[in-house]
Structure 1
Amino acid sequence: MAHQRTMRQKVDDQIDRLALQHPARIALGAFGSVILLVTGLLSLPVATVSGHRAPFIDALFTATSAVCVTGLVTVDTGSYWSPVGLTIIAVAIKAGGLGIMTLASIVGIAVSRRIGLTQRILAAGEARATGLGDLSSLLKTIVIVSTAAEATIALVLFPRFLTLDYGLGKSAGYSVFYAISAFNNAGFSPDPLGLTPYSADLWMLLPIGLGVFVGALGFPVYLNILRQWRHPRRWTLHTKLTLVTIASLALVSATFLALFEWSNPNTLGTASSAETVGNIFFQSINQRSGGFNSFDIGQAREHTWLLEVVLMFIGGGSGSTAGGIRVTTLAVLVLAIWAEARGRRDIEAFGKRIGTEILRLAVSVTLVSMFMVILGTTVFLWQTDIPLDRALYEVVSAYATCGLSTGITGSIDSDAKATLIVMMYVGRVGSLTVVAALALNKRRRVIRYPKERPLIG
């Protein structure tokens, strides 16, 4: 027994050492393992309506899209997958939304009443905890907020499905599925036509839209607000930047969407004014991360596609279920430009100073993401004969784990599907690990080179 404990301790020490030195590898392996597990479950005949095995590429694509909370699909979710398949997808979305390493930490706490250094480092980096000491509180907040939000959405939607004669069992299942998909910004819909039949139904659009909005804020924001809800002035700079940026982007998105689509007869041009306004605000929330659409994106105008490409690339809040470079990254870049334009030495916001190391991190994340999108679009164009506008839209949607599509996903070949699978995986895991890897890679040098300023612009 003593020998076994010694061997187990050695293995634990090696894992801790690997987590400290290479946290990205642990997260990559965890997400990859879960994706393969879900792929295997979706490949079972019982997971499809037809009772036949799903093609491997479609099972892998759906599993990746669910675990990475994206929402892109190569087969129609509502008509292709059986209730068992839909349950597997919902569980995969829930696991991917919470984060595999965060979920592992929660299970570890429940079983052993403690959490080790390895899980703390990985979960803290994934959930964007400000420190290891905050991790336990953050994990509790994650469980409470996600469960409460999903339960509330499901309870609101359940009577609506009953009025639509879905039946008791189907109404309950659809309500829970939509609740999980909305809060986790996954964009999956169990209805064959998605939300387009409910474009004038506020009973459907309002709870789903609010679920997407709340899910995109980020767990650190929830924790801060819950702790200081009586004192908004004491909210952290991260919380204030997240709320202000998300609200500003929603307003800008709604304004331009109204300008572009109000008169488009193929989308909102034939709807009533009230229905158009409701769809504009619903879509303005989903353009960045949610992935739901209440009208046919494929019939939208090209300037709307460009608007949505930019918004999807930005994404949601850090430590949230959304993807993209995150709104605080954009806020730091804009504040840096503003400080430079005004000749300020420091980057400032809400009476706080933002360090140059945060700016370097924001620039790194943005440039790496831009490179990945350019590379992915180039490969995707090489594999297909799809025009650049649609190809770019699809690749950005995959990388930013948004899930909106112009309608080409189901018609592309297996090699192009594989490219989107890689983009979803890299986009989800990259957003969770690159920052943590860079942060843990800080080194203090005793000797520094002399400073010289190159010409810029």
Structure 2
Amino acid sequence: MQPTLTGRRIIQPPRSLLVRVRESVDFLARHSPARFAILVFTALILVWTLLLSLPISSHARSGTPLADALFTAVSVICVTGLSTVDMATHWSGFGNALIFIGVNIGGVGVLTLASILGLVVSRRLSLRARLMAASDSNASRIQAGPVNEGQAVRLGEVGNLLATVAFSALAIELIAAVVLLPRMLAHGYDLGHAVWYSFYYAAMAFTNTGFTPNAAGLTPFVHDYLFLGALMFAVIAGAIGFPVIFALVRLWRQPRRWSVHVKLTLFTFAVLLVAGTIMYIWLEFDNPRTFGDQNAFDTVFQSFFMSVMTRSGGFSTIDISDLHSSSLLVTDMLMFIGGGSASTAGGIKVTTLAVLFLAAFAEARGRTSMEAFGRRIPRDILRLAVSVVLWGATTVAVSSILLLHITKQSLDIVLFDVISAFATCGLSTGLTQDLPDSGVYVLAATMFMGRVGTVTLAAALAASTSRQLFRRPEERPIVG
């Protein structure tokens, strides 16, 4: 209906509720992609909670309690991997299908997935869709003001990035499933279960979730190095980040043209993998409950597998509660760091850690700017990195205090599961299985905070970014 002109007044026709809701969502997505991301994640969690609560979703057809359904929904959409029920036996075929779909949606990222769908439907990306996708792949874009020239993905390349996201997710999961399928058959599973388990494991590895569909978990595959190698391949591919995959696909023959983000991610990721492996070998070689009764090759391989999975993979060939306290602390640190930016991994991200170390090196050398690989890194990135670490540490501290009060467990046990939840890793000492409902809700909130992202959440809480047109007198406090 067209508006009518009456005298000097234009009378607009009444708008339907659907139109008003659509305009409100459009306004929110255009002016605050960060808040829109939180809204969509929350909506998905509520939908999955409702669906998982239905009797058809449980194997016993008796329904699932609200606390367990909500926790599982958060863990699925946030691709964490923690659970309060036995994931292999509690859910029906319908419930497992929901979990499989949910982890893929959460792993790719709601904003990126929405942009991919828009690209498929319209065969082009609007400016708004490009901005939304760019903010999902580069945290700096959610803040007002100019974005640094050395960003991971430029706005004009978002269409190619989204195509890379869709293709890489499908290709990596398919490759992992093809490798896993004959191993499943070799271990005695029938063809139907072998196919389902292979694709399930591939999805859980690439999304860095860590759920296992079979009751025995990884126990039958402890010494199947091809099986474990396929899991590590998919976990690393999901954890390094889509911008890195995008750069490697385009410029794999020209490493000199890689951006600073790509180089920092790959270098820091590799250093942490090697350091984690060495630490587990050193700390656990004499532990008879973990690696103490294994030969040298098995010890090295299992330590490397553990180092990979602490980056957010969530799979484990040993009982985490059997680790020494020193190994638990090392695992805490690796989980808190997590994987690459714009990846299926959680944590504060490896580039955040790299920026903090670059700042420390610059300060030690008396330099005023941070430099890496022949490029200068602006100071506002350092402020962003400090904010991310502070927000993450605060979230972990508050959640740990609450769970210590609720469970009365020891600090190392509680801290491990809290960091695993925040970093969306999925490893557990067993605390999660025995939590009361109050503790379940606390840990669910921790998972949500970790997956939404500290930068995104901080930007969403700020109503606006005001521009300060004056500078106050400078005075230096004593630090250290």
| 2:304 corresponds to | 281
| 1:68 corresponds to | 78
Provide the C-alpha distance between the structure 2 equivalents of 1:438 and 1:242, rounded to a whole number of angstroms. 28
Q: Deviations for 1:334-393, whole angstroms, at most 9, x for unmatched residues?
A: 000010011111100100000000000000111011111101111111111111110111
User: Could you say if the C-alpha distance between residues 16 and 357 of structure 1 is closer, same or farther in structure 2, counting changes exceeding 3 Å?
Assistant: farther
Letter in 1 for 2:357: V
SS of corresponding position for 2:60: coil
| 1:365 corresponds to | 388
Give the structure-1-normalised TM-score: 0.95
Provide the C-alpha distance between the structure 1 equivalents of 2:366 and 2:188, rounded to a whole number of angstroms. 63
Match of 1:187 among 192, 210, 220: 210
Structure 1: gaps of 5 or more residues? none
- 8 Å contact 1:23–1:436 — kept in the other structure? no
Provide the C-alpha distance between the structure 2 equivalents of 1:382 and 1:123, rounded to a whole number of angstroms. 40
Q: CA deviation at 1:441?
A: 5.5
Percent identity reads 46
Provide the C-alpha distance between the structure 2 equivalents of 1:338 and 1:236, rounded to a whole number of angstroms. 21
- 8 Å contact 1:15–1:118 — kept in the other structure? no
User: Could you say if the C-alpha distance between residues 101 and 192 of structure 1 is closer, same or farther in structure 2, counting changes exceeding 3 Å?
Assistant: same
| 1:456 corresponds to | 479
User: Could you say if the C-alpha distance between residues 37 and 72 of structure 1 is closer, same or farther in structure 2, counting changes exceeding 3 Å?
Assistant: same
Q: Deviations for 1:119-168, whole angstroms, at most 9, x for unmatched residues?
A: 33332212226343222111111001111100000000011111122111
Aligned residues: 457
Q: CA deviation at 1:10?
A: 7.3
Q: Deviations for 1:206-256, whole angstroms, at most 9, x for unmatched residues?
A: 000111111100001111122211110110000000000000000110011
Q: CA deviation at 1:442?
A: 5.1
| 1:324 corresponds to | 347
User: Could you say if the C-alpha distance between residues 15 and 49 of structure 1 is closer, same or farther in structure 2, counting changes exceeding 3 Å?
Assistant: closer
Matched, 1:44 2:54: yes
Alpha-carbon RMSD: 2.1
Provide the C-alpha distance between the structure 2 equivalents of 1:302 and 1:281, rounded to a whole number of angstroms. 19
Match of 1:303 among 297, 322, 326: 326
Letter in 2 for 1:97: G
SS of corresponding position for 1:415: helix
What are the equivalent positions in structure 2 for 1:261-272 lying under 5 Å apart? Answer: 261-272=284-295
Letter in 2 for 1:350: F
Match of 1:30 among 40, 59, 63: 40
What are the equivalent positions in structure 2 for 1:338-349 lying under 5 Å apart? Answer: 338-349=361-372
Matched, 1:198 2:208: no
| 1:430 corresponds to | 453
User: Could you say if the C-alpha distance between residues 5 and 360 of structure 1 is closer, same or farther in structure 2, counting changes exceeding 3 Å?
Assistant: farther
| 1:135 corresponds to | 158
Q: Deviations for 1:53-112, whole angstroms, at most 9, x for unmatched residues?
A: 111211111111011010001111112112222111111000000111211111122223
Provide the C-alpha distance between the structure 2 equivalents of 1:2 and 1:169, rounded to a whole number of angstroms. 58
Match of 1:86 among 80, 96, 100: 96
Provide the C-alpha distance between the structure 2 equivalents of 1:438 and 1:359, rounded to a whole number of angstroms. 20
| 2:175 corresponds to | 152
Letter in 2 for 1:141: T
- 8 Å contact 2:52–2:73 — kept in the other structure? yes
Q: CA deviation at 1:9?
A: 8.2
| 2:337 corresponds to | 314
SS of corresponding position for 2:88: helix
Q: CA deviation at 1:269?
A: 1.1
User: Could you say if the C-alpha distance between residues 49 and 39 of structure 1 is closer, same or farther in structure 2, counting changes exceeding 3 Å?
Assistant: same
Provide the C-alpha distance between the structure 2 equivalents of 1:19 and 1:434, rounded to a whole number of angstroms. 15
Q: CA deviation at 1:398?
A: 0.4
Q: CA deviation at 1:290?
A: 0.6
Match of 2:252 among 202, 222, 229: 229
- 8 Å contact 2:85–2:433 — kept in the other structure? yes
Q: CA deviation at 1:431?
A: 4.1
Provide the C-alpha distance between the structure 2 equivalents of 1:380 and 1:294, rounded to a whole number of angstroms. 27
User: Could you say if the C-alpha distance between residues 47 and 17 of structure 1 is closer, same or farther in structure 2, counting changes exceeding 3 Å?
Assistant: closer
Provide the C-alpha distance between the structure 2 equivalents of 1:205 and 1:372, rounded to a whole number of angstroms. 33
Q: CA deviation at 1:191?
A: 1.9
User: Could you say if the C-alpha distance between residues 124 and 359 of structure 1 is closer, same or farther in structure 2, counting changes exceeding 3 Å?
Assistant: same
SS of corresponding position for 1:406: coil
Structure 2: gaps of 5 or more residues? 4-11, 139-151
Letter in 1 for 2:345: A
Q: Deviations for 1:313-352, whole angstroms, at most 9, x for unmatched residues?
A: 1010000000000000000000000100111111001000
Provide the C-alpha distance between the structure 2 equivalents of 1:393 and 1:145, rounded to a whole number of angstroms. 32
Matched, 1:249 2:272: yes
- 8 Å contact 2:205–2:232 — kept in the other structure? yes
Letter in 2 for 1:385: K
Letter in 2 for 1:413: P
Question: Which deviates further from its counterpart, 246-255 or 32-41?
Answer: 32-41
Letter in 2 for 1:119: A
| 2:141 corresponds to | none
Letter in 1 for 2:360: I
| 1:111 corresponds to | 121
SS of corresponding position for 1:348: strand
Q: Deviations for 1:7-37, whole angstroms, at most 9, x for unmatched residues?
A: 5887666544433543332111100111111
Letter in 2 for 1:140: A
Provide the C-alpha distance between the structure 2 equivalents of 1:33 and 1:5, rounded to a whole number of angstroms. 31
Provide the C-alpha distance between the structure 2 equivalents of 1:41 and 1:12, rounded to a whole number of angstroms. 24
| 2:374 corresponds to | 351
Provide the C-alpha distance between the structure 1 equivalents of 2:155 and 2:465, rounded to a whole number of angstroms. 17
Matched, 1:413 2:423: no
| 2:314 corresponds to | 291
Provide the C-alpha distance between the structure 2 equivalents of 1:64 and 1:190, rounded to a whole number of angstroms. 18
- 8 Å contact 2:137–2:153 — kept in the other structure? no
Q: CA deviation at 1:415?
A: 0.6
Letter in 1 for 2:364: A
